[in-house]
């Protein structure tokens, strides 16, 4: 396993793993930073899915009724 993490493979010259440790000047991203955005993204995708389905049906019925766009109704409702 030491050969896999060899600094000669992964790091540029004159840089060691100790240079990459977080300190007062350098702060790297942490996996915990995704605790809020990922649930929000899932909620937004769910809302988008529901709204697309519900709003699409209402708009299609409106256009079919008032503009006689029968081809649009059959095309979207058969998806």
* DSSP string computed for 10-67: HS-TT--GGGGS--SS-----GGGGTTHHHHHHHHHHHHHHHHHHHHHHHHHHHHHHH
pLDDT attached to residue 79: 57
Confidence tier at 12 by pLDDT (50, 70, 90): very high
| pTM for this entry | 0.48
Per-residue pLDDT tens over the stretch 15-45: 888 888 888 888 888 888 889 999 999 999 9
pLDDT for res 40: 96
User: 78 pLDDT exceeds 80?
Assistant: no
């Amino acid at each position: 396993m030491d050969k896999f993490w060899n600094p000669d493979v992964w790091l540029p010259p004159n840089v060691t793993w100790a240079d990459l440790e977080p300190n007062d000047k350098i702060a790297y991203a942490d996996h915990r930073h995704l605790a809020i955005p990922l649930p929000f993204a899932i909620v937004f995708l769910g809302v988008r899915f529901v709204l697309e389905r519900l709003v699409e049906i209402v708009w299609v019925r409106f256009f079919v009724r008032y503009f006689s766009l029968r081809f649009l109704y059959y095309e979207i409702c058969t998806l």
